[in-house]
Copies of this chain bind each other. A is one copy, B any other.
Amino acid sequence: MNRKARATLQDVAQLAGVSTATVSRALSRPDLVQEETLARVSDAIARLNYVPGGAARALASGKTLTIGAVVPTLDHAIFARAIQAMQTELAGNGYQLLVAAHDYAPAQEAAAVRAMLARGVDALMVVGADHLEETWALLTTASVPVVLSWSFDARLPAIGFDNEKAGRLIADHLLDLGHRRFGMISGFTHANDRARSRVAGVRAALAARGIELPSSCVVEAPFTLAGGRAGLAELMARATPPTAVVCGNDLLAAGALFEAQASGIAVPGALSVVGIDNLEIAAHLAPPLTTVHLPTTELGRTVARHLLARLRGEAQPQRVELPIELVIRRSATAPATSPALAREPS
């Protein structure tokens, strides 16, 4: 309850009868100070309830022991999980995590990056490759290590996924199952290269089999269950509804599944639904969701390690692509109505 000003290094030094330099060393390089002195210092520290002041420390040493992360939102399992993993890894190495979310608003992102750089972080991670010119300038001229995550860009080291491949993987699976009429529910693609890549991947896979995915068949919805439901409803209201819909992520897919269930559309009987991300819920939905697994926890951990390594002066690869993988469950099967036999005409 004592509210007096914090004790300073000076106070400790005085109480212990040594110089401030010694106290400082006792704190950061205990191997350099004699055992007995160390004991006296520790005692003084304990007695004064001394806690070193980060600001002074940062100013004098040039390191803040803080790493920044700028993400679109924490209110999405995918980012929350990666940040959680990152934080755990950092804390284990004596670093702290400063987070900012910008809600997919590029200007807010720029502000966040600027604020972090100003505030002082020893390293920084940002999500994706869609940034304002201003943000890019800040990022590429920053005097601290910066890393991109989730996707790639030649301008900066990056640790991410091949989002386009995720789209291709899942589309190919549907194609192999015999589907020919597709719909897609994507998250908003504005300021979101991941979402755009996934759509592009799906398009590319279909195009490779001679199928076009007109933009009228891809609806953009907010990244929520409700968004997924609305998206599916819209798609199924079309004159010729799709037999398969790929969702930009599992949240949207879960929403689509709920909507199908609510409106009596049998999945996978009458409609196949697939997602991307492989959230925990995907495995538990009815039917369990076929999706593409993205190792987001590992992403967070890898980002943290990469940054930590660079801070130690170790060179790091410019690009690390984390493996993704199709996970087949039961929400997608061959289309009921269309001639599966038409597949692979020989």
Query: Which stretch from A110-118, A186-194, A203-211, A319-327 is at the chain B interface?
Result: A110-118
A114 / chain B contacts, CB cutoff of 8 Å: 51
Closest-CB distance, A282 to chain B (whole angstroms): 10
Q: Is A84 an interface residue (CB 8 A)?
A: yes
The CA-CA distance from A49 to B118 in the complex, in Å, is 12
Does A1 lie within 8 Å of B77, measured CB to CB? no
Complex interface: chain B residues within 8 A of A84 (CB): 73-75, 101
Scoring A83, A226, A229 by chain B CB atoms within 10 A of each residue's CB, the highest score goes to A83
A58 contacts across to B, CB distance below 8 A? 54-55, 58-59
Q: Does A66 contact B (CB under 8 A)?
A: yes
Residue of B nearest to A51 (CB): B118
Residues of B within 8 A of A75 (CB): 77, 80-81, 84
What 1/0 mask marks residues of chain A from 198 to 220 whose CB sits below 8 Å from any chain B CB? 00000000000000000000000
The answer to whether A280 touches B140 (Cβ under 8 A) is no
Q: Which residue of B lies closest to A281 (CB)?
A: B225
Complex CA–CA separation, A299 to B53 (angstroms): 30
Cα(A313)–Cα(B232), bound, Å: 51
The 0/1 profile, CB within 8 Å of B marked 1, for residues 118-130 of chain A is 1110000000000
Closest to A83 in B: B74
A98-B66, A99-B87 known; A118+B225 contact, CB < 8 A:
no
Bound-complex Cα distance A114 to B96 (A): 11
Tell me how far the C-beta of A230 lies from the nearest C-beta in chain B, rounded to whole angstroms: 12
A3 to B142, CA, bound (A): 7
Residues from chain B with a CB closer than 8 A to the CB of A285 are 258
Which residues in B have their C-beta under 8 angstroms from that of A99?
A: 83, 87, 97-99
CB-CB < 8 A to A229: which residues of B? Answer: 284
Minimum distance in angstroms from A158 CB to a CB of chain B: 17
Question: Mask for A54-81, Cβ within 8 A of B = 1, else 0?
Answer: 1110110000111000000111010011
A269 within 8 A of B: no
Q: Is the CB of B74 within 8 A of A64?
A: no
Find out whether the CB atom of A96 lies under 8 angstroms from the CB atom of B119. Answer: yes
A114 to B255: give the CA distance in the assembly, Å: 42
Chain B residue contacts of A6, Cβ below 8 A: 143
Q: Which of B3, B55, B96, B98 contacts A143 (CB 8 A)?
A: B3
Nearest Cβ in chain B — how far from A80, in angstroms?
Answer: 4
**Across the interface, do B65 and A88 meet the contact criterion of CB distance under 8 Å?**
no
Considering the chains assembled together, what is the distance between the CA atoms of A141 and B6 in angstroms? Answer: 10
- Chain B residues closer than 8 Å to A51, beta-carbon distance: 114, 117-118
* Cβ of A91 under 8 Å from chain B: yes
Chain B neighbourhood of A88, CB < 8 A: 101, 103
Contact in complex: B118, A54 (CB < 8 Å): yes
| Interface-central residue, A54, A117, A258, A286, by most chain B CB under 10 Å | A54
Residues A141 and B65 in contact, CB atoms below 8 Å apart: no
Across the interface, A55 reaches (CB within 8 A) one of B3, B55, B108, B225, namely B55
Q: Mark A249-292, 1 if CB is under 8 A from B, else 0.
A: 00000110010011000000000000000001100111000000
Q: Top 3 A-B pairs ranked by shortest CB distance?
A: A55-B58, A54-B120, A54-B119
Listed A/B pairs (10) with beta-carbon separation below 8 Å: A51-B118, A58-B58, A66-B98, A73-B84, A74-B83, A96-B98, A97-B99, A224-B280, A258-B286, A286-B286
